[in-house]
Amino acid sequence: MQRNHTHDPAAASWLPTANAAGCDFPVQNLPFAVFRRAGSDEAFRGGVAIGDQVVDLAALAASTGLAGLAREAAQLCARETLNDFLAMGPKAWQALRHAVFALLEQDATPDMVSIARGCLVPMDAVEYALPNRIGDYTDFYTSLDHARNVGALIRPDDPVSPNFRWMPIAYHGRASSIGVSGQQFHRPMGQAMPPGATAPVYGACARLDYELELGVHVGVGNTQGKPIPLAQAEDHIFGICMLNDWSARDIQFWEMNPLGPFLGKNFATTISPWIVTMEALLPYRQAWTRTADEPQPLAYLDAEGNRQRGALDIQLEVALQTAQRQNNGDAPARLSRTSFRHQYWTVAQMLTHHTMGGCNLHSGDLLGTGTISGPSPDQAGAIIELTRGGSLPLTLEGGSGTQEKRRFLEDGDSVIFRGWCEAPGAARIGFGECRGTVLPAGAWG
């Protein structure tokens, strides 16, 4: 896929809000979600973001604004999930995105503007559902900086396991507890081994954490037993969202000897509703490099295209809104900022490795990138890194009330992720918001 007219930084829309400085959803973006009018009994259906509006793809499919493959794609987007649309593949994804661009760009004909305007729903009047029927969810572990930071807390003498540098490590997550932005969940209960104790205790998680990740939505699946070569991997990826892999650290560290995460991870995962397509992300590609002192990937995880443009410069920010700040009318406190370009493995390498043993992925499956941390302390993607395992509490800046501190998350805390891309010669595009809120432990505890 090559850059084209939809990436032109000079392109504008006839919708003024799409041209505003800092807008996440200009005409160069056009991400997909599933929505309905808030509080209604309407069926959920696909939509495309533009400015402060949602293009109702069910209404657009029923209009005269689309034809051919674009119309067929919109008809599948009119369903309650995007799975069937994703299964159509890159040609259909591009046909629909380009057709919507033509309806929304500044040079659209009056007839086209009239059709598109009739399909708009104000974004502040909608609610979202998960965009796909997620059959399977796999969470990776692909940030070397995160591995070093957390590994030093668990295994000071050997923080990064040898296999990390040779393959994208992952575990199979729980799809049933994935929710869309705005998700609220109860603090999990479980076993933990207190320091110095000889027997575990049962109770509410005391070391609740977030993990700043991206979610990768699988577009076209593969046949069982037929791996996806690295050079073809991105033909199977529809797009990317933000993802919060909530983590109960005390439960997780006790249970992870010798197997992987289980109850410490399966109680909640939050994703942002909007999927930014791989086509929209083309201007923000960068070379993927591996320094000479690091092991070079095995042949199946190496390809010239991946080295030339496998990395993605997606800027990411974490903020925390506490109950006190909310009551005082204060803005959320920013905790960290980083970029996905620091990740040790690319999304294409993750997908290829996932299928190498013969595993069959399905349209709508979700991959988590693993926590995204950068090389400096203020670029950490989890609170356990920022506080060094809770030993150095964070002071939340900027509040008008009593200054608050955090070692780990407390009840009533809302964690907010935001992501965006900007580069010379390209428009700024964004991912919207990914927000989740911690409630007290459930009554069953």
Structure tokens at 56: 């109702």
- Position 364: which residue type? G
Is 217 catalytic? The answer is no
Per the residue annotation, which of 7, 146, 342, 354 is the catalytic one?
A: 146
In order of 27, 72, 140, 231, the CA distances from 106 in angstroms are: 9, 25, 41, 36
3-state helix/strand/coil string of 33-96: EEEEECCCCCCCEEEEEECCEEEEHHHHHCCCCCCHHHHHHHHHHCCCCCHHHHHCCHHHHHHH
In order of 32, 104, 422, the CA distances from 348 in angstroms are: 21, 31, 21
In this structure, what is the dihedral angle of CA atoms 335, 245, 316, 236, given to the nearest 10 degrees? 180
3-state helix/strand/coil string of 96-163: HHHHHHHHHECCCCHHHHHHHHCCEEEHHHEEEECCCCCCCEEEEECCHHHHHHHHHHHCCCCCCCHH
DSSP per position, 201-241: EEEE-SSEE--EEEEEEE-S---TT-PPPGGGGGGGEEEEE
In order of 30, 83, 183, 277, 423, the CA distances from 133 in angstroms are: 21, 7, 17, 18, 33
**CA–CA separation, 343 and 296 (whole Å):** 15
**CA–CA separation, 230 and 262 (whole Å):** 29
- The distance from CA 212 to its chain's CA centroid, rounded to whole angstroms, is 8
Q: How many Cβ atoms sit within 10 Å of the Cβ of residue 296? A: 12
List b or e across 323-335, with b for residues whose CB sees 16 or more CB atoms inside 10 angstroms. ebbeeeebebbbb
Inter-residue contact 89 to 83 (CB < 8 Å): no
Active site residues: 146
